[in-house]
Structure 1
């Protein structure tokens, strides 16, 4: 059978399975299209995650071969969280019945979601999806675990898949296609790490904030002398926004998403981020 025809047939079978399930009106479900399952980037990510789990849990003599097949009952996730987060979970080590497995998984995911500080609306997994061995949800879950507990790991970047979204409406099933990213690009990951640096600074080392602001202000004032402007306060001088925009347009960069309204509203983190971008781009010209 031709590959395209085989993929189409597989998706029809998957859709029919969804129709046979009890999907309530308004509910949406996602699944990876068959055409993306053999994507080399997706395969590389799955291999990376399997090797990471097996290495992490080597001393527990646990061997994972399939992400969705081996993680659905919560056993592997239980060991991972205890190993990575030193968390003590009040669950049975081995749950034999389906009811107990689902209950165990629910407790584990509730604990994990609290650790990640994610709102329920932003979660890309659920107890139901993981328990039903949904690959997409399982991948999102594992990538989030690594991002929180071991952010230094070089997860394969820019992994995305074609997904089909099925929604149950009063008139039957409605489907649409879209592209979903599972891991970020290198650039996006670097941008996120910059934001995290200032989060840590503002939260855990506020005593160093004045020194950082002084470095940035000296840098800014060196570049705007010709305009007859002197910046004395990074918090409240609103014309800093116009200055930053002019410099960014001149340099052709802003590699960290920033809302200009945050600058105007005196959001210190946003101000530091935009000044940091400018500083990294132009600091070599000061020497």
Structure 2
């Protein structure tokens, strides 16, 4: 793992401490190990080596942190510490490089405590000890929970399961059992069905095909011209909530105090606050945006962003809206 700079330290004196902790943990009761056959499953390989690894590296690109293995590179807390800051906007005062085992465990305890508050899992399948021991099963459960909570737009492989051997140690001996562990849920339909659903049932797919996106962009720029702002990328420029709040203020004729939102958001939490405020304002104005969460807009989900903007466009677009709908109706008749 390349962590933006090399550091060397003599930590051999911790070997005995680690061995003592491993022995204690094993003697404490239960262990889980993924069976070798499950490790060969292409779906598990895709989840581990492609989706999660790519997601971590994209999330931490700005920090110049490159993770090469989810099994080997998360045990000391550095990567999780940076992900917590990047995704949840939580900045903990911890040493950057924890070199000793005790320092790593201390760091993991602080980071996982904050993550667990936000992941809100009733039955967590990871803990400090498992992550520090590079337990692959626990690490995968943690990462899947983080993706699902913070960036649900990331498409995880569906129905990933592994066979695990559960070893239970007691005074009478060791008992083993084989169980199935679910890493990702079954989506319930295949990729072709997803495509059909999008083509036939998703209204936003229809709107995107009817040139509404360009019409909404023109509407936004016409509105924001009076304050000297221009939107070039509808997909991205609304993700921090600033232009969205200014647009609502312009259209509805009221001023949103600067103390109520972050004009220059630096963290994920700042952006979530801004977008949440915007969605609450729309609800107060009677503009209900169904099934859109603040996280959707922050994560640059174009369909969610367009739903929010289209609600404003529908109310204030006037002739532009009628023109677009007329054009869309014509296009539909011509293709029928």
Question: Which TM-score bucket, shorter chain as reference?
Answer: 0.5 to 0.7
CA drift of 1:90 comes to 2.6
Matched, 1:41 2:15: no
Matched, 1:72 2:75: yes
CA distance in 2: counterparts of 1:24 and 1:34, whole angstroms: 20
TM-superposition CA deviations, 1:142-178 (whole Å, max 9, x none): 0000111111211111100010001111211111001
TM-superposition CA deviations, 1:224-271 (whole Å, max 9, x none): xxxxxxxxxxxxxxxxxxxxxxxxxxxxxxxxxxxxxxxxxxxxxxxx
**Equivalences for residues 69-108 of structure 1 within 5 A:** 69-108=72-111
CA drift of 1:93 comes to 1.7
**Equivalences for residues 8-19 of structure 1 within 5 A:** none
Give the length in aligned residue pairs.
175
**Equivalences for residues 216-255 of structure 1 within 5 A:** none
Q: Could you tell me which residue of structure 2 aligns to residue 159 of structure 1?
A: 160
Aligned residues of 1:26 and 1:167 also touching (Cα < 8 A): no
Q: Could you tell me which residue of structure 2 aligns to residue 285 of structure 1?
A: none
**Equivalences for residues 141-220 of structure 1 within 5 A:** 141-187=142-188
TM-superposition CA deviations, 1:30-82 (whole Å, max 9, x none): 11011111110110001210011111111111111110200010000011110
What is the Cα-based RMSD across aligned positions, in Å? Answer: 2.7
CA drift of 1:94 comes to 1.6
CA drift of 1:99 comes to 0.9
CA distance in 2: counterparts of 1:156 and 1:90, whole angstroms: 35
CA drift of 1:25 comes to 6.0
CA drift of 1:23 comes to 4.4
CA drift of 1:87 comes to 0.8
Pick the structure with more helix per residue: 1
User: In the alignment, which of 117, 121, 131 is matched to residue 118 of structure 1?
Assistant: 121
User: In the alignment, which of 53, 58, 61 is matched to residue 55 of structure 1?
Assistant: 58
CA drift of 1:95 comes to 1.3
CA distance in 2: counterparts of 1:69 and 1:113, whole angstroms: 21
CA distance in 2: counterparts of 1:143 and 1:154, whole angstroms: 11
CA distance in 2: counterparts of 1:125 and 1:187, whole angstroms: 27
CA distance in 2: counterparts of 1:95 and 1:132, whole angstroms: 15
Q: Could you tell me which residue of structure 2 aligns to residue 236 of structure 1?
A: none
Aligned residues of 1:25 and 1:170 also touching (Cα < 8 A): no
Q: Could you tell me which residue of structure 1 aligns to residue 132 of structure 2?
A: 131
- Structure 1: gaps of 5 or more residues: 1-16, 191-203, 213-287
- Structure 2: gaps of 5 or more residues: 1-18, 195-279, 289-336
Aligned residues of 1:32 and 1:164 also touching (Cα < 8 A): yes
Q: Higher mean Cα deviation, 24-33 or 131-140?
A: 24-33
